[in-house]
Structure 1
């Protein structure tokens, strides 16, 4: 025992009855640490009187609380000390069982009040004034949910039915956000901003209502969504850190309940059967598990939880981030989302002195890759589950720390001009850009071409291998369908299918997204010379042993040549699709020449000419839809071409224009291993595109 030597007997012994009361608590899990100069007391008759002061930091075995005192043991002597002067020290880890019990419940409660504050991880991007506004609405029974219809009426928290009182809406995200406690987060953030305890008191009621309805041992699939469970942990830990330091934190029973909920969530998150591998949901699960382990090192399993979380985090980052920092879940929007999440988690870890896995170093490359995704109108290609809204300048934290990204997001008014016009991002994206700055043309006019390929797992993967987007002259000309929204509606199903994408597929068949085909596609190369930019990708997802190769050749004169070659063991019908941007209407068509021209109200046009076709092939115009934003379904047109065979080739010339200067003549020549495509415009100007080894 450290500290002062204490005599073997008390000046006045405690009564036998009192000693018998102490005996059951003699094996307490706690020590009492006293600072130098702390007064120790003893019994003298029926009075508690001063005994001595500590001369150094001293630990005594804690027996039990006793009124405003705590009884401690020094060898065979029982002494008393004012509870307010005691620092509680755990002598062995807390199991879930030891959270309860009449002694431990009180001591754990007091320990949590004493425990040093930490910086909680913030999941949702929420401005302080927004948090206060939403919290005020919540106090009046109007809960704000980020997903439409954005509102749920709760007249009484205690009687609220978390299932029957929730409106049926199209988006799955509504219940997802309700159950991950977006309301608790708003209330906690509002308290931190204003200091108003009524926000935390209401949040306490929400927590108690939800945890009563959804105990972990009867985990509901909606309430315990694999992603939502992780997010709820972040909000629970933030609430608890704020709540435990306030005067509201009076009930040891509530402390036991909250800590039991945290413990049960950790057990669930650590479970292999609950875990989502190769998916950003698993990434969040690992982050939440690590947050619990580091926030509550007192738990008996925290060391194991931290080890599991770090190992799985490293594996997740290994499979979801390429070496160059490209996020590999098939969606530029999730590149933004995951970077934002990981960057703030890294900041949280630094503020709390927490060690993160080695692979976290890769995230520092992610903003540099994001530069090339950003189209000249500040949207992202809507591959996978990406929405098409305009991205704000603060799309990621500290945008100005990344000069190239600041340039792209500001339309060239801030930051530094990037030096590259073509870019291969991992093996998943090829990007070609006409210019970053031009002496005679505005920033938003630049042509921007993107192609995607790569199958790294099911996460946010659409049947879109080798699909492309073409932007120029301030608008989208060829654009993906978008995600539509997370819902069971048929539009979502249609958006996932291969027929919704700008690629080639077997007629009436989907791409083969079986697990065996993971890794069977990708971008092979992206190159640039003085006259053209060239991207090449290959996919084996087309099915039945066939292989699809696509090359994009951009001549920097607003004309794109798309070469598709499909080699198949058996002859089949193969369909090439190009879905056009909304507002483009057919103005000229030559069925025999496979030549179509579309124009918008501002006379911006796109012309598609098939340069190669066989007998029996055809081109036609079909209807389509685009969802640039969630739950939009805007009509548009698509250009569909069909060929049959075992070695099918498409050579498609695509020109953007706003000067009524269309392609009027084309010619293909073969010289050794080079194919030369010549096209002449109505103005009389002639252009040449050379392609190696395609015929």
Structure 2
């Protein structure tokens, strides 16, 4: 019966089993045995790969590497090579590794820290479904004992994945549920698959409604993960296993439409939260040709007030070299992929990124990961030189309180509760192609030191700090900076001591130096105002706009 079920089940393909098949799969399969295991996208030395394996190894002190080992990522090039050649030795090698994992944990009863790690279990379940279908369709020859091992592995994985207590409530849960659906699509009659489809349908709906707002915005505080989860779910839907899950189709339509707001006009992902400045392949919406020449009416405002993002950008028709964008962040619904970047922002103008956040760097422990998870690494306010711990208790939902156009100027306002009972309100005034003003009002009951941090994209070089500070881009463009609050300035670039400052993620695991500004003042309550403009007249306009919208009285300043 199992053989008939597996043969006639909907196909488990490399794509819907989340198996990465690259053009270099054959070369990568050979390199696995010759030089060692390197997870895709990770710049680490090859780890010598020889069976039997120590599945609890931790050669790089890297939790992500350990997860990838237990997600059987080394099987991807082997299965890709089989897909490309039909040579069964690649399936044989795959099964040798799978059975080695089984022998280590089941036969020898040894333990691994990541043995039943949520996402790894889901990804392994997909590969098991793929291999079981191959075995029962005769693509690889297995004896009865080997088939029994595969089925026992399937039974163990389905048991884990059907346990609601082990289901991640973040994006990892999507992989767990899809792995369960894949496995029980192929061998539905194994005991631990009973009720699997109804379980997946119920839990998937609950999970996606936790992951996304009604507006269709991913709530893990990261534009990169908006793309990641959207692409993941769409790939899962292509399997044909979700045809009766109507709610997924409706939600993913909204999520897909919102992707265009998560990237700068040069189509690089906005680096809020755990995001890298990756380029994405995406089409802009239809737009009137009249906006190909810059006009005051050719700017768009999107206020995701329920979700916590507010974005001003040029109309889609405006060429990249002329385009502007301001992305404002005020979101804290979940701790997953959240960084301490409350009320931070990114600014793109006249064709290039100007002010950006630090990006995620990597998930490995170390000084640079500590840096990007610090408040000081983002375009926000640091209090007393410390970074508060992110916890469920400190979640505030959406911090956006206002977002509107006022003629040619845009206003965005947000407010968040900060550590030690301090309240922060940030007002952003933005006139694209001209200037940007950031005004922070922080109010508390005791003396504190407040530092308003700004971080320039790496191509900007500081030329002077006298009067209006001047920065010049490698493109030749100039930005002037004027601070109005009399705070003390520091301007580090690539600083390592006494602590890291002035760094930005270039790609996963790679940091490069860049210019940072910190304006520090102290007191029970302070007001910090900084202006950015493309010439002195623009700064004067920004200063006049601030005078209209920010209280004129100076809060007390009791600490130098």
Is the aligned partner of 1:148 residue 2:43? Answer: yes
Report SS of the residue matched to 1:576.
strand
- Structure in which a larger fraction of residues adopt strand: 1
Find the partner of 1:342 among 230, 233, 245: 233
Partner of 1:427: 307
Q: After superposition, give the CA deviation of every residue in 1:484-515 in whole Å (9 maximum; x if it has no partner).
A: 11101121011101111110131123245232
Q: Post-superposition shift, 1:596?
A: 1.9
Partners of 1:311 and 1:357 within 8 A in 2: no
Total equivalences in the alignment: 533
Alignment match, 1:605: 478
The change in CA–CA distance for 1:634 and 1:690 in structure 2 (over 3 A counts) is: same
Separation in 1 of the partners of 2:527 and 2:300? 28
Tell me the residue number matched to 2:498: none
Whether the 8 Å CA contact 1:294–1:354 is kept in 2: the answer is no
User: In the TM superposition, what is the alpha-carbon distance from 1:577 to its structure 2 partner?
Assistant: 0.6
Equivalent pair of 2:162/2:192 in contact (CA under 8 Å): no
Q: The residue matched to 1:182 in structure 2 has which SS?
A: coil
Q: Deviations over 1:128-170 (max 9, x none)?
A: 533344335447675553122374443x53x343455x7x236
Tell me by how many angstroms 1:336 deviates.
0.7
Is 1:233 aligned with 2:125?
yes
Aligned partners of 1:464, 1:665: CA distance in 2, in Å?
26
Distance 1:331 1:129, change over 3 A: same
Tell me how far apart the structure 2 counterparts of residues 627 and 259 of structure 1 sit (CA, whole Å).
44
The correspondence for 2:503, drawn from 625, 631, 653, is 625
> Residue 545 of structure 1: which of 413, 421, 426 is its match?
421
- Alpha-carbon distance in structure 2 between the residues aligned to 1:629 and 1:296: 41
Equivalent in the alignment of 2:136 = 244
Shift of 1:189: 3.3
Q: Is the 8 A contact 1:188 1:239 kept in 2?
A: no
- Per-residue CA distance 1:610-650 (angstroms, 9 max, x = gap): 2234xxx4223234111121222212221111223343222
CA distance in 2, matches of 1:448, 1:545: 33
Distance 1:664 1:284, change over 3 A: closer
Distance 1:607 1:265, change over 3 A: same
Output the CA distance in 2 between the equivalents of 1:387 and 1:611: 32
Given that 2:504 and 2:512 are in contact with CA atoms closer than 8 Å, whether structure 1 keeps it comes out as yes
8 Å Cα contact 1:503-1:578 kept in structure 2: yes
Shift of 1:467: 0.8
Matched, 1:329 2:329: no
Work out which of the residue numbers 462, 486, 489 in structure 1 matches 2:339: 462
Cα RMSD between the aligned structures? 3.1
From the superposition, tell whether residues 360 and 435 of structure 1 become closer, same or farther in structure 2 (CA, over 3 Å).
closer
CA deviations over 1:159-218 (Å, ceiling 9, x no partner) = 343455x7x236543332232112323322332333221111111111111221133976
Match among 368, 376, 400 for residue 523 of structure 1: 400
- Superposition map of 1:151-170 within 5 A: 151-154=46-49, 156-157=50-51, 159-163=52-56, 168-169=59-60
Contact 1:188 1:238 in 2 (8 A): no
- What residue number does 1:404 align with? 285
Give the Cα–Cα distance (whole angstroms) in 2 for the partners of residues 312 and 654 of structure 1.
47
Q: Distance in 1 between matches of 2:355 and 2:265?
A: 15
Residue number in structure 2 paired with 1:24: none
Per the alignment, in what secondary structure is the counterpart of residue 491 of structure 2? strand
Partner of 2:191, secondary structure, is coil
Shift in CA distance, 586/612, structure 1 to aligned 2, threshold 3 Å: same
Aligned-partner SS, 2:74: helix
Quote the residue 1:386 is aligned against. Answer: 275
Could you tell me which residue of structure 1 aligns to residue 496 of structure 2?
none
| 8 Å Cα contact 1:607-1:654 kept in structure 2 | yes
Q: What TM-score does the superposition give when structure 2 sets the normalisation length?
A: 0.86
Partner of residue 638 from structure 1, selected from 516, 519, 528: 516
Q: Say whether residues 1:364 and 2:253 are aligned partners.
A: yes
Distance 1:125 1:597 in 2: 49
Please tell me whether residue 118 in structure 1 is matched to residue 11 in structure 2.
Answer: yes
2:237 aligned counterpart, secondary structure: helix
| CA distance 1:125–1:429, shift in 2 (3 Å) | farther
For the pair 1:283 / 2:149, whether they are aligned, the reply is no
Larger % of helix: which? Answer: 2
Q: Report deviation, 1:476.
A: 2.4
Aligned with 1:498 (options 366, 375, 395): 375
Q: Secondary structure at the match of 1:551?
A: strand
- Residues in 1 aligned to 2:10 and 2:211: alpha-carbon distance in whole angstroms: 33
Aligned to 2:518, the other structure's residue is in SS state: strand
Q: Unpaired runs of 5+ in structure 1?
A: 1-87, 89-107, 394-398, 668-675, 679-687
Where do residues 301-316 of structure 1 align in structure 2 (5 Å cutoff)?
301-316=192-207
CA distance in 2, matches of 1:666, 1:295: 68
In 2, the alpha carbon distance for the partners of 1:321 and 1:555 equals 31
Distance in 2, matches of 1:342 and 1:114, equals 25
4+ residue runs of structure 1 moved beyond 6 angstroms?
Answer: none
Deviation at residue 387 of structure 1 after TM alignment? 0.9
Q: Is the 8 A contact 1:537 1:549 kept in 2?
A: yes
- Counterparts of 1:563 and 1:234 in 2: how far apart (Å)? 50
**2-structure distance, mates of 1:151, 1:382:** 29
Tell me, which stretches of 5 or more residues in structure 2 are unaligned? 494-501, 553-560
2:135–2:142: 8 Å Cα contact kept in structure 1? no
CA contact (8 A) 2:28 2:77 kept: yes
Mapping 1:178-327, distance limit 5 Å:
178-215=69-106, 220-246=112-138, 248-277=140-169, 279-327=170-218
TM-score (norm 1): 0.70
| Residue pair 1:548, 1:565 contacting (<8 A) in 2 also | yes
| Alignment check: 8 A CA contact 1:310 1:357 kept | no
Task: State the 1:253 CA deviation.
Answer: 1.5
Deviation at 1:403, TM superposition (A): 5.1
Q: CA deviation at 1:127?
A: 4.5
Residue from 556, 579, 585 that aligns with 2:455: 579
The corresponding residue for 1:129 is 23
Q: Is residue 652 from structure 1 mapped to residue 522 from structure 2 by the alignment?
A: no
Map 1:30-45 to 2 at 5 A.
none
3-state SS in 2 of match to 1:574: strand
What is the match of residue 558 of structure 2? none
